[in-house]
Amino acid sequence: MKKTKTHLFLAISGLLVSLIGYGYFYLNQTHRNIQAEEVKYTVTSSEMAESFRKPGAKTNIADQVIQTKGRITALGEKSVTLDKRVNVLFLKKLPADLKKGREVTIKGRCVGYDDLLDVVKVDQALLIEHFELNINRLEYE
């Protein structure tokens, strides 16, 4: 009789501890780590803008991890604008040798479409690679 009571007590307290533990971790989850997540869509800057601009289009890239490539048209300490269409905010400071006109590939989270500026916003981004601008392309512009 005594044994079953002890067992019952142990079982209930064990359950309680695990519930509290689960609750604690549930309530204090860490934020998404965009860098650790896999890229869900690889898109061009114009594809990104189009996906938001078309009326009624499903904007399925919002809040997704995306990878995109483009030419830098504006440059800040922790931000770039690609092809005048995509505004990217980085987690870290950008390398000092990065210049306007360079082509870069970035990975980040698509935040959404800003219709005041007509740009798509990306945050928590990481610079994947950057190249010198192709000379031939300059000549034709």
Partner 1 sequence: MRNRIQQQFFIQFFGFCMLTVFAVYGQDKYLDKKGVIVFEASEKLFEEVKAKNESVTAIFDVSKNEIASLALIRGFRFKNSLMQEHFNENYIESDLYPKAIFRGKISDFDLNDLGSGSKEYTIKGVLEIREQKKSIVPVVHIQLINGVISLQGSFKVLPQDFDIQIPKIVANKIAKEVMVRFDFKLLANEED
> Is 93 an interacting residue with respect to partner 1 (CB under 8 A)?
no
Write each residue from 105 to 124 as x if it is in contact with partner 1 (CB under 8 A), else as -, in one continuous string: ------xxxxxxx---x-x-
Are residues 60 and 43 in contact, defined by beta-carbon separation less than 8 angstroms? Answer: no
- Buried b / exposed e over 30-68, threshold 16 CB at 10 Å, is eeeebeeeeeeeebebeebbebbeeeeeebebbeebbbb
> What part of residues 20-39 is at the interface with partner 1 (CB under 8 A)?
26-32
The least CB distance from residue 101 to partner 1, in Å, is: 13
HSE on the CB side for 27, CA within 13 Å?
A: 6
Which of 14, 23, 54, 63 binds partner 1 (CB under 8 A)? It is: 63
AA identity, residue 105: T
Quick one: residue 136, left, alpha or beta (phi over 0 = left, psi -120 to 50 = alpha)?
alpha
> Is 126 an interacting residue with respect to partner 1 (CB under 8 A)?
no
Q: Which two three-digit tokens encode residue 67?
A: 């990878």
> Is 75 an interacting residue with respect to partner 1 (CB under 8 A)?
yes
The least CB distance from residue 137 to partner 1, in Å, is: 21
The least CB distance from residue 22 to partner 1, in Å, is: 13
Where do contacts with partner 1 occur on this chain (CB under 8 A)? 26-32, 59, 62-63, 74-76, 79-81, 87, 89, 111-117, 121, 123
